A and B are shown apart, each in its own frame.
Chain A
Amino acid sequence: MPELIAKPALGAAPVTHAGTTLAEADLPQMTAIAPWPGQAEAVGRALGLQFPLPNAVTEAGGTRLVWAGRDLAFLIGGVAPEGLAAAVTDQSDGWVALTLSGARAVEVLARLVPLDLRAAQRGQTFRTALNHLPLILIVEGEGDFTLLTFRSMARTAWHEVEEAMVKVAARAL
C-alpha cells in the first residue's frame, strides 16, 4: 500500500455552461504501445484488438486502443501483456483527462480545435492541438468527448475550455 498520497492533476469540480459540462476524469491505466516495424497486426492480436489506423480507436470490453501517432497507440484501461512485439511505456501519470459533454460541446471545441467535429463518431480520435496545447481528442459519442493533454498543462487546458464554454453560453442566451 502506498503511504504517499496520490493527487489528481486538478482536483476540479465539474462546471456546466449552457447545458454542456466540463469535468476532470479519472485516467485509468494508460500505456503507450509502439510496435516494432511490421508488428502492428501481431501486437493487435496479442491485445485482442485491432491495431488502430490513423485517427481510429478500437475497443473491446473496457479496453481501448487509441491511435496516437506514427507506429503508436495508447492502450487505455488494460494492461499490456509481457513479451509484446512493441515498446511499452507507462503513460498513466503523464496526462490529464477532461470530459466535455453536452449539446454545445461541438460548438465549444470549434473555438479550440481546428477540426470539423460536427459528424464525429465514437471510434474516432484526433491528435491535434487545443489552442497551443497538445491534445489527444477521443470521440465518446455525439456531443461527448474526452480530451487528453499533458498533465502539467491541466490548469491551462481547463481555463481555455471553460473560457470557450462561457462565451458560447453567452451567445446562446
Chain B
Amino acid sequence: MRIDGKGRIDRTRPVTFRFDGRAYAGYKGDTLASALIANDVRVVGRSFKYHRPRGILTAGSEEPNALVEIVGPANQTPNTRATVQELFEGLAARSQNRWPSLRYDALEINDLAALFLSAGFYYKTFMWPRRFWEGLYEPLIRRAAGLGSLSGRHDEGVYEKAWAHCDLLVIGAGPAGLMAALVAGRAGADVILADESSEPGGRLLSDDGEIDGAHATDWVARVLAELASLPNVRLMTRTTVTGAYDDGTYGALERVGLHRSPRPNLPRECFWRIVAKRTVLAAGALERSVAFEDNDRPGVMLASALPSYLNRYGVVPARRVALFANNDSARSTARSLMAAGVEVVAIIDSREDAPDEPGIALHKGAQVIRARGRMGLREIMVRAGGREFRVEAECLGVSGGWNPSVHLTCHLNGRPRWSDALAAFVPVEGAVPGMLVAGAANGSFSTHGCLAAGAEAARASLAALGVAAGAVELPQAEDAPYQIAPLWAVPGKGRAWLDLANDVTVKDVALAAQEGFRSVEHMKRYTTQGMAPDQGKNSNVAALAVLADATGRGIAETGITTFRPPYAPVSIAAMGAGGRGMGFAPQRILTSDQASRDRGAPMVEAGLWYRPGYFPKPGETTWREACDREVMMVRCSVGVTDVSTLGKIEIQGPDAGRFLDFVYTNTFSTLPVGKVRYGLMLREDGHVLDDGTCARLGDQHWLMTTTTAAAGLVMRHLDFVHQAFCADWQVRFASVTESWAQFAVAGPLARDLVTSALGHAPDLPFMGCAPVVVQGVAARLFRISFSGEEGYELAVPTRYGEALFRDLTARAETMGGGLYGMEALNVLRIEKGFITHAEIHGRTTAFDIGMEKMVSGKKDCIGKVAATRAGLVGPEREQMVGLMPLTGSVLTAGAHLFAQGADLVRENATGYVTSVGYSPTLHSHLALGFLKNGRARHGETVRLVDRLRGVDVLCTVTDPVFHDPKGEKLRA
C-alpha cells in the first residue's frame, strides 16, 4: 500500500501497467516491484523447482524471487527483476514458471513430492533405462523446472555497444562513491561515476540518515548538483559494472530504453567497455537473510528492503510488520516504519545481549522458527527461552547481517578474506590492479566510515595518477559500530530456504556434505546453490556457513565459490549488439557486383567477398546447366570472370628478389622483368601455406598474387618473416588487393577479346606481363591461366572496374562467349588438376601435392628443412591424385578412399576426396583427392565411400591433370 507523503516517486504522473493481464496503477519513479507492493500484490512468481508461491524479497538488483517476463510489441524478455524494472506507461509484465496461472499452478504438486526432489535426486532417480535420460527424463525435468520462456523469435530489438575512457572509474554512487567522485572531480580528474540504480545515492536514499545535520538526501542532491557542474565528471546511471578485466577494462551494462515506452532506434541496452586508469569500487553491501522453516513465504523480506520501499517509493508491504535480526541494522528499519505509521509488532533478536529498543516489543535471544501463510504471510512462530509463541504479521523483515559486494574484486582471481568481526567476506588489497575498495564493499558499514573511505580512496587514486587532490571537508555523519552475532539457519525439522532462486534448502546442503560433496565448489554444483540468475548473491555465504557446520570446519577454511563476470545478468543481445544481419561480418563487394546481380547471378561467400556462383540463362533450371554451359563456353570460345578477390601484394626494393627467394620454395630473383612465375610458399613447419603467381614488373618491383582465402595470412607471414629474420633488408611490401580490379579472360578466343578491348594484339608469351592502356586507362596485362585455356588477366584501377567488366562482357557476348562464375571456375581448374585451399588445407606438403621439385635445392627458404622431416615424405604419405568413377556416378568431397574388398573401418581408410565437379568436357564426374602412395597407383581401382551422403563408388586413380596434360592450349 501507498504511504502518503513518502517516497521519491512523481505523484503528479500516474502510470498504468499490466501484470498477468490485469491493469494496475503506479507512478513515475516506481519500479515494477514497488508498484506491485503498492497494489497489494503479494505473490509475483513461482519457485524454480517446487513451484512454491513467491513474493518480493529485496529492493535491489540481487532479487531472487520477483523475476517476470516483460512483453513488448516486438520483445519478450524473461527473467526481468521486478525490483530493477522501472515503470512506464503501457508496461506489460507476466509471471513465470506457472501453469495455468500464478494462483493455481498445477506443478505445485512438486512441493508435495519434495521428499523425492532433494538435491541430486535426478542423478539417482532417473538412471534406468539409460537411454531414457536424453529422450524423456531430461526434457520432462527441464519443462517442470525453469524460469521464463523465450518467444522463439529473433530478438530484433536495438542494442548498442560503446567504449568509454577515464582516469578514475567510481563504481557505485552511495556515500563512498559520491565522496570519491567529488574528491576526484574537484581535483580535475576525468571521472566516470557508474551506478546501477535509476537515481544515485545508494542507501542514503533508503535510510533515514543524516549528514551535516540534515537529511542525507539533501547532501546527495548538493553533491550531484556539483558533479553535474563539473565537465570532467560523467555520471552514468542505470549502468551496472558487470565485470573486471585486464588492464583496467570493465564491462558495464546500461539500461537505455528498458525503462521507457519503446522509441524507434533507441537502444534497449548498451554494453560499455570502460577503460579506466584507476578504479574505486564502492559497490556497497547486500543484506542477507536467515534460514528457517518456510522462510520463503510471500511477505518474508529483507529488513533493509522495507525502508527502501518506504523512502524511495512510498510503499509498504503490510500494516503489521515483524522484524527478525542478528544485528542492529533492523532497528533503524523499525524506527522508519513506525514513523510512517506502520505497526512494528515485534523485533525478534537472536542475540541474548541485544541492546534495548524502547517502544517496541523486543524479544532477545529469540528466533523465528516458522513462517505461515502459503499465498502471503499471516503469522510467524517464535521460540524464545524454551517457549514458543505466535506473532501475527503480514510482513517479516529479516536481517542476517551484511555481505560486502566483493564480486568485482574476484574477477581476476582474487579470493576474499573472512572477517570474524563482520561475519562476512571482505576484499583483499590489490585483487584487481588499479582498484581500491571503499565503504561498505570493504566492510565499513557506517555512513561516516563510507564517506571517509570514499574520500581516502579517491586521494590515493589521484596520487597514483599524479593529480593533486584539493582539500575536501568530510561531512558529519553517524559512525555506529557494527554489532552482529552470526546466525545462518534456525534449527528445525521443516525445509528452510537458502537459495530462493534455485530452491536450495539447508537440508540439501547438509545432504551434499553427507554424500561427500564437502568442497564448497562440489556442494554448489551438486545442489545448484548459487547458480541461478542472482548468482548466489542472497545465499552464498549462508550456504557455505551451513556447509562448514555440516563438515565440522570453520567458514574461513571452507572458503567461498568463485565470483565470475557478469556481476548481474547481461543480455547476450547487448554483448552482441550490431552483430545481426548486415552487422554480422564485413561484406567485401566487387566492382562487378551490380553487373553480376543484374544478370541474376546468385552470390556465394568466399571469405568476406561476395562472388557470383553462375550466370543463369533463360530456360536453365538448375545451376548445373549453367555451370556446364559456362565450362564449355570457356573451352570453346571465351569467358570472362572477376578475379579481383585474389590477394595482390607489391614487393619492392633492392632486396626484393632475395626476399622472394626466401619466402617461396622456388627461385624468383632470376625471373626476367615482364615475366610471371608460379610459386609455392611453405609455413615454417614445412607444410604448404599458399600458392600463386608472382610477376616482375620492374628491376626492383614485383607483384605477388595470393589465393583469395589466404591474402591476409600471406601478408602477415611476409611481415613476420621480414621483421623476424631480415628486418635490415631493403624490402617493403604493400597490399594492392583493393587497388586493382582484375578480370580473367580465358578460352580459345581470349586473344581476340583482349585484342578487341586494347585495340591491338596483346603480343605476350605464356607467363608474360606488360603495362598496357585499355581505353585510355593505364592497366596491367598478365598472360596466366587458371582454366587451362589461353588466358589473360587484365587489371585496372578499381574505380574503372565496373566499366571494364561491362565492356569485356559485352565484347565476349558478341563473340559467342560470356561470363562464368565460381562453379565453372572450379570445374575448369579441377579438369586441369590445379589446387586450391581445398587441397592445400594446412596438412599437406609440397611432396603431397606433387610439387617437391619446386623446392629449390640451390637455396634456403622458409619451411624447407622442416619439410624434410621423417614422416613428411615417402610412400606412406597421402599424395594428390585424380579420381574418375568407373560408372557415371556422382562423387562427393569429404568421401574416404578404401582398397577394394577392405572393411569400411577407419583403420582401412587410405585417403580422402577434396574437390569434385562434373566435367562436361570429359562427360564424367571428376575428383581430386589424396591417396596413400597415390602417385604410384595410377590406374588402380579404389572404393570411394561417403557414408554421410550414401555414396559408394568404384573409381580409377589417375593423374590429377585430366585435361590437356601437356598444356598445349595454355601456350597456344
A-side residues, CB < 8 A to B, are 1-8, 32, 34, 36-37, 70-72, 86-95, 110-111, 113-116, 118, 131-133, 150-156, 159-160, 163-164, 166-167, 169-171, 173
Contact = CB atoms under 8 A, between A and B. Distances in A.
Given A93-B739, A160-B583, A167-B265, A153 B588 contact: yes
A150 B609 CA distance: 12
B162 A110 contact: yes
Contacts of A86: 732
Interface string B150-189: 0000000010111111000000000000000000000000
Nearest to B585: A132
A154 B588 CA distance: 8
Which 10 pairs across A and B sit closest by C-beta, in order of nearness?
A87-B732, A94-B738, A116-B165, A34-B732, A87-B652, A94-B739, A2-B776, A93-B798, A4-B803, A170-B265
Most chain B CB neighbours (cut-off 10 Å) among A70, A89, A152, A169: A152
B261 interface: no
A5 B589 contact: no
Contacts of B273: 114
B586 A156 contact: yes
A129 to B, nearest CB: 10
Contacts of B736: 89-91, 94
A87 B653 contact: yes
B256 interface: yes
Contact of B267 (A1, A71, A156, A171): A171
Nearest to B719: A70
Nearest to B734: A89
B947 to A, nearest CB: 38
A4 B739 contact: no
16 contacts: A3-B775, A4-B777, A4-B803, A5-B802, A70-B723, A89-B650, A89-B734, A90-B797, A93-B740, A94-B735, A114-B273, A132-B585, A152-B738, A163-B583, A166-B265, A171-B267
B826 interface: no
B895 interface: no
Contacts of B804: 4
A36 B586 contact: no
B767 to A, nearest CB: 23
Contacts of A91: 734, 736, 739
A7 B591 contact: yes
Contacts of B608: 153
Given A91-B734, A150-B738, A167-B266, A7 B589 contact: no
A37 B730 contact: yes
Most chain B CB neighbours (cut-off 10 Å) among A34, A90, A94: A94
Contact of B589 (A2, A6, A154, A170): A154
B357 interface: no
B263 interface: yes
Nearest to B735: A94
A2 B265 contact: no
A133 B586 contact: yes
A167 B270 CA distance: 10
A147 B587 CA distance: 17
Given A4-B775, A113-B163, A170 B264 contact: yes
Interface string B779-805: 000000000000000001111111110
A160 to B, nearest CB: 7
A150 B586 CA distance: 11
- The main secondary structure of chain B at its interface with chain A is mixed
B732 A8 contact: no
Interface string B801-812: 111100100000
Contacts of B450: none
A86 B652 CA distance: 9
Contacts of A155: 587, 589
Given A7-B799, A111-B162, 13 more contacts: A2-B775, A3-B775, A36-B732, A72-B732, A86-B732, A87-B652, A91-B734, A93-B799, A94-B737, A114-B273, A114-B275, A131-B586, A153-B586
B318 interface: no
Interface of B: 158, 160-165, 256, 263-267, 273, 275, 578, 582-583, 585-591, 608-609, 650, 652-653, 723, 727-730, 732-740, 774-777, 796-804, 807
Contacts of B160: 111, 164, 167
Nearest to B796: A4
Contacts of A166: 265
A131 B578 contact: yes
Nearest to B712: A134
Given A89-B736, A95-B738, A131-B578, A153 B728 contact: no
Contact of A151 (B164, B165, B738): B738
A88 to B, nearest CB: 8
Contacts of A95: 738
Nearest to B802: A7
Contacts of A164: 160
Contact of B734 (A32, A37, A93): A32
Nearest to A32: B734
Contact of A115 (B163, B650, B734, B776): B163
Contacts of B263: 170, 173
Contacts of A111: 160-163
Contacts of B732: 34, 36, 71-72, 86-87
A70 to B, nearest CB: 8
B361 to A, nearest CB: 52
A167 B267 contact: yes
A7 B609 CA distance: 19
Contacts of A153: 586-589, 608
A70 B736 CA distance: 17
A7 B589 CA distance: 14
A114 B247 CA distance: 14
A153 B591 CA distance: 11
Contacts of A115: 163, 165
B808 to A, nearest CB: 11
B776 A1 contact: yes
